[in-house]
Structure 1
Amino acid sequence: MASRVLKWSSLLPSHDQGRIMNETYHVGSYWGPRKETPEACALRLGDFLTGMREVDPSFARWFQPGRSRKDALTRPIELEPAELEKRVRRGKDRVVEEIGFRVEGWNGVGDDHDASGFLVTCGSHAARVSNACVITLPSLGPNADRVLTAHVLAAVLRVSAVAWEPSWGVATSQAHRKLLDERGVRGAPRVGWVTYLEGRRGTVPPLPAPVRIEPVEDRGTLIILTPERFTVANPEHLALAEQVRELLAGAGLLRPASP
């Protein structure tokens, strides 16, 4: 391990567990091309990381990738604006300027299955490279028990929506996301356990119980399918997700993000 650079994803649980009853989960926020300066991206990153501190204790500190787990724990991500700007500038592609900046982090708590990580692409104004903030979540352990709830995932998506101003976002399992990607339109919002839609998409129609709708300031809406843990092993969850997807699509809210 010490012979190569260790990415945060290698410290986290596999996305392809192959066991439905042990689904792994993530939160992703996505937006189209948006040219932004390193300063602007750093401000958004600071807002995001500061907001995450308020969501759960496991999100209080983040570390840069290192050559090993031990090395990564010596490389904290500082929240001072100047330090965040340096971190963003280091993530600039050296060949293609328009693809923006990439920043990643790992929270270093618990064992590999109980840790979280994030990967942000910001400032891209290239049609082929999307801007996104993706948080990989713990799968087993005390952090997972706290984080993998509708309340916490809605809070994570809310923080991401306020900081990054995405077109849409989703919190769901990797297994569910795979099902959605197989039949979805490229660039169009996916409806998962918790979904965020920006307000410019239109008004969310009435949705069936137990679905809950929450505003996100004046920016958009959170749609929470069920208070219990959403899983593809539960056919009622899949049926509810499909019903809500059809209602949102019928209201014209699931069109692909505008370039």
Structure 2
Amino acid sequence: MENFRTIGAHWYSRPETLKQCTEKLLDFLIKLKELNPDYFGNWFELGYSKKEALKCNVELNYDYIKKMLSIKQKENDFPKTSFSIGVWDGTLIEIGVTSLSVSLGSNESEYYTNNCVVELPFDATKNDYYNSSKTNQEALLNLMKKSWQPEWISVNGNKIYP
């Protein structure tokens, strides 16, 4: 298997409430942090500049995640597009950034998927991506499968599962 730069879980038509999406995303973020706290332990909201974004540290609690997801929708909405967020790890060197984008809860069945995409950092000291070891790749892949139960997973843009 090639080294991961991006890994994405994708699925269609899974309408879920804001509460369901919040619970699933919070659970995923906590498990991701447990998997590797150095890379997945600290997230920041996106902002107009890196300096501004670094002022918005993401708190791993239900109320905070719900607030982030609900900017455009209300509690019982089943969004036409999705509940979505994007976060990053605060790394100022572009090639070393870890980021996460998530779109959840949509009943879309043709064009836009529900998804969770993790972009992994490049470690210049090792001239390799963070998770080039087989153990790290398998752990992240298994977490993505278990957390999202996707129809397919892509790595670096290529479909690898099922």
Fold agreement, TM-score > 0.5: yes
Corresponding residue for residue 149 of structure 2: 165
Report the residue type matching 1:150 in the other structure.
Answer: K
Q: CA deviation at 1:64?
A: 0.4
Q: Is the 8 A contact 1:38 1:89 kept in 2?
A: yes
Report the residue type matching 1:97 in the other structure.
Answer: P
Q: CA deviation at 1:142?
A: 5.0
Q: Mapping of 1:149-228 within 5 angstroms?
A: 149-171=133-155, 173-174=156-157, 177=158, 190-191=159-160, 195=161, 197=162
Q: CA deviation at 1:115?
A: 1.2
Quick one: distance in 2 between partners of 1:91 and 1:58? 29
Corresponding residue for residue 81 of structure 1: 62
| Distance change in 2, residues 1:155/1:91 (3 Å) | farther
Quick one: distance in 2 between partners of 1:141 and 1:74? 26
The reply on whether 1:68 has 2:52 as its aligned counterpart is no
Quick one: distance in 2 between partners of 1:155 and 1:109? 23
Q: CA deviation at 1:146?
A: 3.5
The reply on whether 1:141 has 2:141 as its aligned counterpart is no
Greater C-alpha Rg: 1
Q: CA deviation at 1:108?
A: 1.3
Q: Is the 8 A contact 2:22 2:65 kept in 1?
A: yes
Give the number of the structure with larger relative contact order, counting CA–CA contacts within 8 Å between residues 6 or more apart. 2
Report the residue type matching 1:53 in the other structure.
Answer: K
Quick one: distance in 1 between partners of 2:26 and 2:6? 20
Quick one: distance in 1 between partners of 2:152 and 2:4? 21
Quick one: distance in 1 between partners of 2:34 and 2:66? 22
- The structure with more strand, counted as a fraction of residues: 2
Quick one: distance in 1 between partners of 2:6 and 2:129? 14
| Distance change in 2, residues 1:99/1:145 (3 Å) | closer
Q: Is the 8 A contact 2:5 2:121 kept in 1?
A: yes
Quick one: distance in 1 between partners of 2:91 and 2:7? 18
Quick one: distance in 1 between partners of 2:19 and 2:125? 36
Any stretches of 5+ residues in structure 1 without a counterpart?
1-22, 178-189, 198-259
Give percent identity, aligned residues only: 25
Quick one: distance in 2 between partners of 1:125 and 1:48? 21
Quick one: distance in 2 between partners of 1:91 and 1:54? 30
| Distance change in 2, residues 1:160/1:75 (3 Å) | same
Aligned length: 154
Quick one: distance in 1 between partners of 2:124 and 2:21? 33
- The structure with more helix, counted as a fraction of residues: 1
Match of 2:59, SS state, is coil
The reply on whether 1:46 has 2:26 as its aligned counterpart is yes
Q: Is the 8 A contact 1:24 1:139 kept in 2?
A: no
Corresponding residue for residue 29 of structure 1: 9
Quick one: distance in 1 between partners of 2:8 and 2:119? 9
Q: CA deviation at 1:97?
A: 3.3
Alignment partner of 2:90 out of 108, 120, 125: 108
Match of 1:97, SS state, is coil
Moved over 6 A (4+): none
